[in-house]
Structure formats: C-alpha cells, structure tokens
Chains A and B, each alone.
Chain A
Amino acid sequence: MKRFTYLVCSLIVACMVAAMVGWSMAAGNFLVPVIAIPLGIIVVLACRAHVDVVIADEREKRIRSKAALRTLEVVVIVGAIAAIILYSYVMSIPLAPIITGKLFINDDGTQSMTIAEYKPGSVPGPETLVRSTTIRDLNAMNETDAITYCTYVREGFSENENRGLAGMTIGICLLALLATFGAFYLYYDRKY
C-alpha cells in the first residue's frame, strides 16, 4: 500500500467513526462509539502495517514539529488579541449601548417613563436613537411591564454579552491549548 492510499484510508475511517459517534450521540445510543472507535483504530493500524514505504521520516517529523510550534504561536497571539477585543465589549463602557430613562408626569397625574437606547459611545439624541419604549403608568407597573422592561434592557446588551462570551470561550480554549502544550513539554523534557 502506498503512503497516499494509507492517508486516504485513515481519512475515510476517521470520517466514518466521527459520523457514527455523532449519530449515536443524536440517537442516544452510547454503545456505538465503544465499538466504532476501537474498530477504527484497528483498521488504521492494519492499514499502517501494510504501508511499504517509510512513514516515520525524521525530516517530516522535524517539519511537522516546527509547523506545529509556529501554528501554536500564531493561534495563541491572534487568539489572545481576539479574546481581549471581544471581551472588552463586556467591560468597556464606551462600547456598551447608552440606555436612558426619562420620567414624565401625565395629564391625569400618573407617572410614565420613556426608556431609550442609543448607539454605543454616542451623544444621546434623535440621530443616535436605536429604539425606545414607554412604561405608561409607573405606579401601576405590573409583572408583565417589569418583564418587558428587563427584556428590553437585556436585549440592548445581548450583542455585547455574546461577543464577550465568544471572547471568554476563545480565552478558555487558548488556556487549555497552552496547558496541553505545557504538559507535553514537561513530559518530553523529563523523557529526554
């Protein structure tokens, strides 16, 4: 078997195993991965045993190790920048939408409040207004009005919160990546 054939076989087996694991998760059948994963490993190892050319070439090992290290460096740097930028949407006041509340006395003596959302970092005004809502009678505010108000405020910040969540996820993934790298580094450092 040629090396290319072996790589194609490994790819097909990996795809089939991934599909089976995915299907089993969706179907709730947890017996399939237990059988599919070891079976996939056995098939790949059997294919590897039939490869008639060199697999573990030292030059390729060195190329891969350098490529992996460079990839790690690029991913960590770009990922850290992206994580900080995205998370700053949660922390930063200028990047958050401006929400104002104005109290009005109605003709019948009741109080109403107009809550308005303006573009982040802008001066509140008609040009920068995104949306607004009014609570007709503050003193007669019921549960539905309160929920509407809460949802309104939450929606205003949801985009920033989602970005912050994405930033936090990237940050955690980077830390996990670095921890894995550190663990392997210590392992090989002790081994050699």
Chain B
Amino acid sequence: MKNRIRVLRAEHEMTQEQLAELVGVTRNTIISMEKNKYCPSLKLGYRIAHVFGVGIDDVFTYEESVDGPSADEE
C-alpha cells in the first residue's frame, strides 16, 4: 500500500505530531506509515483522509510491489 501522507501533510503544513494527535495514534505510527513500513487499519485510513478533507483513494493507493507489513502479513 502506497500513501501520500507526507505530501498531504506538507500541503496542510502539518507536523507528524499534529497529525498523530488528530487521528489518535502515536508519532511512531505516522512515521512508519510514511515509510510504508506499516499498513494502517481501514478505520485509521478513513480518519487520516477525513483530517485532510479528501477521499481515502487520494491518500492510499494499492500497489502489490510496495506493500508494507499489514495485519494479515508477517
């Protein structure tokens, strides 16, 4: 799963800490997502999209090759 969190954050002039606080996770989670190391839950995905005021498709793109570890993977 590829994401545009870093780009959207820059557009909204938002720090990782601020985004983390708004979506109710730690900064580490945001860092891991931006590095494509962690695939968030659907709920968190929607929360992030909601914070940026865009659809979930504008934040996350499914790509087989760049898939980070998710709930059902190692």
Contacts and interface: CB of A to CB of B under 8 A. Distances in A.
19 contacts: A53-B26, A54-B20, A54-B21, A54-B26, A57-B25, A57-B28, A57-B29, A58-B25, A58-B29, A58-B40, A58-B44, A59-B25, A59-B28, A59-B29, A59-B32, A59-B38, A59-B40, A60-B28, A62-B71
Interface in A52-111: 53-54, 57-60, 62
B26 A57 contact: yes
Interface of A: 53-54, 57-60, 62
A161 B21 CA distance: 58
B33 to A, nearest CB: 8
B65 interface: no
A60 B29 CA distance: 8
Nearest 6 Cβ contacts at the A-B interface: A59-B29, A57-B26, A57-B25, A54-B26, A59-B38, A57-B29
Contacts of B38: 59
A54 B28 CA distance: 11
A62 B38 CA distance: 10
A57 B20 CA distance: 10
B41 A58 contact: yes
A59 B28 CA distance: 8
A60 B71 contact: no
Contacts of B25: 54, 57-59
Contacts of B28: 57, 59-60
Contacts of B26: 53-54, 57, 59-60
A58 B21 CA distance: 13
Given A54-B24, A59-B38, 4 more contacts: A54-B20, A57-B25, A58-B29, A58-B41
B16 to A, nearest CB: 13
